[in-house]
Structure 1
């Protein structure tokens, strides 16, 4: 993904971000662009014009990691020509591979995991001018952003994270090891974000989480995906709400009845996404 956002600084440091993988990665890239824009960074249309190149990565399949390593290898000459160029690996592959990335690709400066990318501006500041390696892969941190809602690919559609992580540890899946344990955002934060998106012209939102059906764990009171949908439904301007990914074992009767039988939710369009590997 390449952001086309503009800042007031024509001569500011230029960042190029390329995104691999899922919808959550696309959202994380948008959040990162917003946080960097607030610090005065601008964004390059081509990686050849960038002072900082960041790859937001995926680890669901080996092929995804191979693509990233191949791309990093292709950037070695550019780094040799410009030693001040900062190269960073973000996301699931960074969390999974950690310091191994530095050993295999020593021209990389930053390895930033899935729970640390909200610290991206300060991590880049730490590297600036030093060309050193910085490893940031804390497994227990909670991603916390003051979202810049104008930073998104499509004016009328937006991704909204409601929870992160997964506690299921299915035998076939790496997600709990790279996204960490489950934690949910408060419904108040989510409602506030969706209202801001609606005010900015957004018509359709997709609620994201590694397992949205378990939304609410760890929050005070009886908070569930169903109660969150009830809070989101009245927001003016939002015409469709999708959610994914859903784990079959955590789907509840409350959610099903809410989506299928309650007339107040006729404006909710559900995209029910279940993993075929579960066997359900």
Structure 2
């Protein structure tokens, strides 16, 4: 069994962060290990507290994994501070590992999960190491300093991010207003670009969607899928998880991490050139 690692914050509500990642890994038949960067007090209604872990102990956690496991892929989620980002990047720059960077900045309830001074550290130290970067539109705006309102804006932002580094950028289009469809935009360093379009699901239960999508990507890469196939299967995973939600909590509820296996990955991702 292949081993993968998530480097992220803990979500006491279980819908996002380390908890969502490990659930996703288990469902996709990889062995999940973790480096916890912060503890949060949160539920479906929001985040009421954040307790970051010291950067030295974060490195200690990661070194403990690397000396014992043959890790096949890594993902990062909530990293919170510049010190934490620096501590992780210091290790990753010496490893040839597939890396999925989910630049977690804001929780569903609006709480900040990334300090302002950490944004430049993420841009300069972590993004150049990424195999795949998975920002939503607000995160892409923050990382590029560019306002995004149109598909042309997405193309410009993607090119800006690709200049920083990374093999592939997926800008998730869920924040675009559209009544019937949601489209994600995929860009590669070699100039290829395509879109993935799925029916938009009307639900409040989208807590942890970014974490879950990036964790699925990590699992598929860890199992050896080509990057293009990993992206499409990860899209199926999160689409089914949103479609068949669990209706838990009184706010933005979690997605259904069981759904991909329960429905045997049965949904169609419409792929066309961007």
TM bracket, shorter-chain basis: 0.3 to 0.5
TM-score by length of 1: 0.33
Hey, which of these two has a bigger chunk of strand by percent?
2
TM-score by length of 2: 0.33
